[in-house]
Structure 1
Amino acid sequence: MSARRTELSRRGFLTGSLLVAAGTVLTSACSTDPTGASGSGAKTTLNVWYHAYGETGTQQAALRYATAFTKAHPDIAVKVTWVPGDYAGKLNATLLTDAAPDVFEIGDFNESLARRGQIAALDDVYGTAKTDFNSNAIDSVTVDGKLYGIKMIDDVMMLYYRKSTLAKAGITPPTSYDGLVAAAKALTTGKGKGLFVGNDGLGDTAILAVWSNGGELVSREGKVAFGSPQALEALTGLKRLHDDGSLLLGFTTDWWDPAALTQGVVPMQWCGLWAMPAVKSALGDDFGVIPWPAFKAGGSPAVRVGGWTSCVNAKSKKLDAAKKFAQWLWIQQADLQKDFAESYGFHVPPRRSVAATTKALSEGTAKETVTLADRYGKHNPGTWDTAVSSAFNAAAVKIAAGDGDAAGLLAQAVKKAQGEIDKQRG
């Protein structure tokens, strides 16, 4: 369910919309203007959008949840709309029209939706449950002190390593960036490289470098922060991995797929919790997980936490009903939240109480991952859109390759990114 993996499962049974009213599916697939809600007794029909999850069963689960909601609220019908392809593009375009959904999900949270008045504040929806959500889940949807979404699932990203390979080489799992560089170099042989972070040799490492040296990407006040001395020092440090020739480049799949690790191409790979079932199936217990290590003393290890968030259209004519649906599903129904996180892929429920009772996360490396996320989890800023991240990554690629003056490249990226953020904030 990662935001990077939105391909439609070929085993999914429909595309388009289905209307659920009084607990019954009333319309057929691909309907764009379903009718029949009035005959069911429903006074209100909500349009709820999901991106086309690749995991088998997710679409059926969304319909099952809608059915359960309408049984509890027979005056509210729910149209589940499954959106394949460019979900973000279609959503942003539709939000400008009268056909905009009442409730919808987004990947990495974008605070400009709140600043443009497109999503509603949901503080009243949370109630006392707010304290049960992990700090990342709350912080990531907070804009000017108000909550503008409800985190549905956490996708945790961390370093996997092959226990037997490291042990054979006399290497302990690295706890510092120096240790990671040394391990990657030592594990690089004529048969393969020591570390895979992405086909471009960068992946998430640039943002991880900044975080691991005590830096930030963008401040809560909207000021670009990745031009700090700490950020420059850590980004420059990435060049060591490239100079050593330790990184696997141009593999058949990218970092989000665990194939490089499971096929024995590399002994260390940056990947996500969603890949753990496949890793365990291939390697048994011969793997462990660690955070991206602290750049130096005084820094902090880091894991990235992404995922999906439920939002309510602030301009919906059915705002109260839309809030009721979001509250019912993502605040009140712990069993459904658990089902969504562990039955269709492998993810962490953002609510601590739900995560604690999720069996699949209760032991071994999965439990370690939950602990790492709670202790070291960081999320991309709400201002981290394509334009801002592209400016940062373009500089980071050149810095890691030693292509130009690092300080100058970073200063240019800061200027460009700040201009984009100023546009976002009006």
Structure 2
Amino acid sequence: MSPRKADLCRRGFLGGSLLLVAGAVAACSTDPAGSGSAGGAKTTLNVWYHAYGEAGTQQAVTRYATAFTKANPDIAVKISWIPGDYQAKLNSTLLTSEAPDVFELGDFETGLAKSGQIAALDDIYGASKSDFTSTNLEYLTAGGKLYGVKQVDDAMMLYYRKSTLDKAGIKVPTTFAELADAAKELTTKNTKGLFVGNDGVGDAPFNAILSNGGELVADGKAAFASAQAVEALTAVKRLHADNSLLRGFTTDWWDPSALTQNAAAMQWGGLWSMPAVEKELGEDFGVAPWPALKAGGKPMVRIGGWSCLVNAKGGNVEAAKKYVQWLWIAQTDLQKDFSQSYGLHIPPRKAVVAEADKLRTGTAKEAVELAAQYGKANPNTWSSAVRTAFSDAASKAMTGQGDVADLLTAGAAKAQPEIDKQKV
């Protein structure tokens, strides 16, 4: 459930809205603002989700909303399922009267708190606050207040074909040099050694910097032009020089098909894909963190996921907070369902992780343990403008389109004013 473009062919449905009243679907419209309240409801909440790729997710959030309205007949819930570029549509709609009351966000941005766009949610956590991981609480905090509730943690890591590595006599890489060596050796006429994304860049720059002890933002300053970052980006250029990366595949890194169809021997991917990988490969796969850049460094697992926020500028703030509290704090059974019934995801609450049976055994358990040990998330000032400044510079650096230090320095200079705008 990491942020990614909609794959409508795979999902098998189009975006639309569902209005749920007292446990039943009262209306359905492709116009997110086209349905009004119905039945005995005094308030209608418009709740936005991006178009998840995992089958059954849309039906699940519809059931959750139905259950909420059954328990709270005065509040109807309209589910708006947004295909395509969700972030762009959300950004533009938040500036209008059609803005959702509740919405999810893949990368939390403190700038939304500074602008007064989102409501503080400290009061809805109650005694359950201590059950949420400290990492997620810190991530959603701005100016000492909590502005969201994490729905799922999405762990991203390396997948590999066991039989392919065993046949080549290659051990699971523990340093970047070993990863690059393995990718080169595993590249054949029909199979590439590694898939990180169709652009040949993906998360590799982010991974390399953090696995070398660097940071993207530190103490409110753009830090991705540090000596550690320059060293890391200089190193990962080798993947292009060796021609060992799969590029231009039919689906991108978030889908496991490159691995399962043997187009790549190793692939960067998400925990959400594990059920599909198991279905195709059985036990012939393993997972590993992105390796340390060099001996003595620290491997990393990227932690993403989606958070639920309330529009402070909407007309239904208290009803919206009630909905968020009910679904993402009180209903642990639904949180468990959401995390393990539609792909695999790590629940943000420790108690729910303990109850998630599909995460307690095998490779899934190993992935959860790797995430706990090596997990790293984006900074909460990682707005689209900051992200673009970094990704443009990092992509050029990794693909040999200029001096690495100069590119990263220029990118950091461009990102800094955008970081400054978000300080609360």
TM norm structure 1: 0.92
- The one-letter code matched in structure 2 to 1:329 is L
Q: Distance in 2 between matches of 1:161 and 1:367?
A: 16
Tell me, yes or no, if the aligned pair for 2:105 and 2:307 is still in contact at 8 Å: yes
2-structure distance, mates of 1:28, 1:191: 47
Give the conservation status (yes or no) of the 8 Å contact 2:46–2:80. yes
Task: Using the TM superposition, name which of 54-63 and 270-279 deviates more.
Answer: 54-63
CA contact (8 A) 1:9 1:56 kept: no
Matched ranges for 1:350-361 at <5 A: 350-361=348-359
CA RMSD of aligned residues (A): 2.2
Q: Offset of 1:84 from its aligned partner?
A: 2.8
Residues matched between the structures, number: 423
**2:337 corresponds to:** 339
**Which of 324, 327, 331 is the equivalent residue of 2:325?**
327
> Do the aligned partners of 2:8 and 2:14 also contact (CA within 8 Å) in 1?
no
Aligned-partner residue type, residue 250 of structure 2: T
Q: CA deviation at 1:30?
A: 3.9
Answer whether contact 2:196 2:245 (CA < 8 A) is retained.
Answer: yes
CA positional deviation for 1:17: 2.9
Name the stretch that deviates more: 343-352 or 111-120: 343-352
Structure 1 pair 176/35, CA: closer, same or farther in 2 (3 Å)?
closer
CA shift for structure 1 position 244: 2.4
Task: Kindly state the Cα deviation for residue 150 of structure 1 after the two structures are TM-superposed.
Answer: 0.8
Give how far 1:291 is off: 0.3
Aligned partner of 1:217: which letter? L
Offset, 1:18: 2.9
**Residue 283, structure 1, aligned to residue 281, structure 2:** yes
Q: 1:147 to 1:408 in 2, by over 3 A?
A: same
Shift of 1:359: 1.9
Residue 173 of structure 1: CA displacement?
0.6
Pair 324,389 (structure 1): closer, same or farther in 2 beyond 3 Å: same
Q: Aligned residues: percent identity? A: 63
What is the match of residue 258 of structure 2? 260
1:109 to 2:113 alignment: no
CA contact (8 A) 1:214 1:298 kept: no
Bigger mean CA deviation after superposition, 129-138 or 104-113? 129-138
Deviation larger for 415-424 or 273-282: 415-424
Alignment map for 1:22-421 (pairs within 5 Å): 22-30=22-30, 32-35=33-36, 37=38, 39-40=39-40, 42-219=41-218, 221-421=219-419
Q: Deviations over 1:11-36 (max 9, x none)?
A: 76774333323333333434634345
Seen in structure 2, the aligned counterparts of structure 1 residues 14 and 200 have a Cα distance that, compared at 3 Å, is: closer
What residue ranges of structure 2 are gaps of 5+ in the alignment? none
CA distance in 2, matches of 1:33, 1:242: 49
**1:41-84, Cα deviation, whole Å (9 max, x unpaired):** x3332222222223332222222111211222222222222223
CA distance in 2, matches of 1:276, 1:200: 23
Q: Which whole-Å deviations, capped at 9, do the CAs of 1:186-224 have from their partners, x for residues lacking one?
A: 2233443321112222110000011001111012x4310
Asked if 1:6 corresponds to 2:10, the answer is: no
Instruction: Report if aligned partners of 2:14, 2:83 keep a CA contact under 8 Å in 1.
Output: no
1:245 Cα deviation from its structure 2 partner? 2.5
The alpha-carbon deviation at position 353 of structure 1 amounts to 1.5
Moved over 6 A (4+): 9-14
What one-letter code is carried by the residue in structure 2 that aligns with 1:421?
I
Name the TM-score, length of structure 2 as normaliser: 0.93
**Equivalent-residue separation in structure 1 for 2:53 and 2:187 (angstroms):** 34
Note if contact 2:111-2:421 (Cα within 8 Å) is conserved in structure 1.
Answer: no
- How far residue 326 of structure 1 moved from its aligned partner, in angstroms, is 0.2
